[in-house]
């Protein structure tokens, strides 16, 4: 760890760094899955979904930046490479052969829900460790992930 005057106990900082890096892997995977959907979607509502999936990607990129910067603030090293994300992500593999917009919405909704579930658990872990700043960061990320899930799921209620 890097030296810091951050007053959280070192044991807490190490735990938070590990937690943040685990969720960083998920966010990196989520961003890639959103881009896969963005590039691959076809169908009558193509442009709406194409733009929505790009918005999900942008949000996931913001999640990554917030978590990686918090790792640095705590004296850690962000583990944000694609290779580490592939190795450490808890998200299910995204099927690359999808083209139908509804199928992409279903898959991306599952990924967003799983991501939000992981960040919700992280809120509790941070609270138990008395790191309210990291808990607040995960609360912000969860709120935005839930909003993206809502946007994607709205398309699943359309009649085919």
Q: What is the 3-state secondary structure (H, E, C) of 53-102?
A: HHHHHHHHHHHHHHHHHHHHHCCCCCCCCHHHHHHHCCCCCCCCCCCEHH
Domain 10-155 listed as CATH 3.40.50.800: no
pLDDT of residue 160: 53
The structure's pTM equals 0.95
pLDDT, the chain, mean: 96
Flag whether pLDDT at 16 surpasses 60.
yes
pLDDT band (50, 70, 90) for residue 159: low
Distance set, CA 31 to CA 2, 28, 57, 72, 115 (Å): 28, 5, 5, 21, 11
């Amino acid at each position: 760890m890097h030296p810091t005057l951050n007053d959280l106990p070192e044991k807490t900082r190490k735990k938070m760094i590990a937690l943040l890096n685990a969720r960083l892997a998920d966010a990196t995977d989520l961003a890639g899955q959103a881009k896969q959907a963005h590039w691959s979607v076809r169908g009558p509502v193509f442009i709406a979904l194409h733009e929505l999936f790009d918005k999900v990607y942008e949000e996931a990129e913001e999640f990554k930046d917030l978590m990686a910067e918090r790792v640095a603030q705590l004296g850690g090293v962000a583990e944000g490479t694609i290779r580490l994300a592939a190795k450490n992500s808890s998200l299910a593999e995204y099927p690359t052969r999808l083209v139908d917009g509804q199928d992409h919405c279903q898959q991306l909704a599952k990924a967003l829900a799983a991501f939000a579930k992981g960040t919700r658990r992280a809120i509790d872990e941070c609270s138990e460790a008395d790191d309210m700043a990291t808990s607040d960061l995960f609360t912000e990320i969860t709120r935005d992930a839930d909003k993206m899930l809502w946007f994607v799921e709205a398309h699943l209620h359309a009649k085919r």
